[in-house]
Amino acid sequence: MQIFRALLPLLLAAGCKSPPDEVHHMPQANVAHGMALIERAGCGACHVIPGIFWPRGESGPSLAGFAEQGLIAGRLPNRPDVLAAYVRNAPATLPGTTMPAMPLSAQDARDVAAYLYATGKR
Ligand code: HEC
């Protein structure tokens, strides 16, 4: 039983890992621009985000390794179009969410989503 408990997270992680190239491929998006937008919009005030060193707020969840996460905010499928809609206008995409709407255009939001998918676990 003990060994099963120890292995469970590994099994879950392996099972949930989707092939990034198929699911999170965003050829039209600009990852570097996404990073600049994240810095400008101040997402770091509420989130730990790999590559963004300041600020690193924790009122929102860490966004490290986001490509490997199954759901957005625990309720939406983690797909590029849904993530872009969510980071731009979370309350409209997921009523009741505590993530605020952010001042991003639709293209900006795609670049931001591509950056989140491109980052690793840290
Ligand atoms: C004022 C604080 C705040 C700011 C600023 C903010 N967020 Fe959030 N964000 C949150 C909170 C709180 C949640 C959790 C929402 C929920 O679970 O309903 C969240 C959730 C998220 C999620 C889903 C996380 C998960 O684990 O599923 C993503 C992705 C996200 N935010 C991206 C961004 C991006 C990108 C920006 C900047 C454009 C940003 N956030 C700016 C507070 C913030």
What is the pLDDT at residue 8? 56
CATH number of the domain residue 71 falls in: 1.10.760.10
Say if residue 16 is exposed, middle or buried (CB neighbours under 10 Å; 0-12, 13-18, 19+).
exposed
Residue 97 CA to residue 103 CA, distance in Å, equals 17
Mean predicted lDDT score pLDDT of the chain:
88
| Nearest residue (CA) to ligand 1, atom 36 | 43
Residue 1 has pLDDT above 60, yes or no: no
- Judge if the beta carbon of residue 87 lies within 6 A of ligand 1: yes
Residue 50 CA to residue 42 CA, distance in Å, equals 14
Residue 88 has pLDDT above 70, yes or no: yes
Residue 13 has pLDDT above 60, yes or no: no
13 domain residue, yes or no: no
86 domain residue, yes or no: yes
3 domain residue, yes or no: no
Adjacent-strand bridge partners of 94? none
Cα end-to-end span (Å), the chain: 31
What domain count does the chain have?
1
Query: Which band of pLDDT confidence, cut at 50, 70 and 90, is reported for residue 83?
Result: very high
Contacts 24+ apart (CB under 8 A), 91-96: none
- Judge if the beta carbon of residue 99 lies within 6 A of ligand 1: yes
What is the pLDDT at residue 85? 98
Q: Which range marks the domain in which residue 59 is found? A: 20-118
**pLDDT tens-digit profile of 26-62?**
989 999 999 999 999 999 999 999 999 999 999 999 9
47 domain residue, yes or no: yes
7 domain residue, yes or no: no
Length of the chain, please? 122
- Judge if the beta carbon of residue 77 lies within 6 A of ligand 1: no
114 domain residue, yes or no: yes
- Decide if 33 contacts 118 (C-beta within 8 A): no
67 domain residue, yes or no: yes
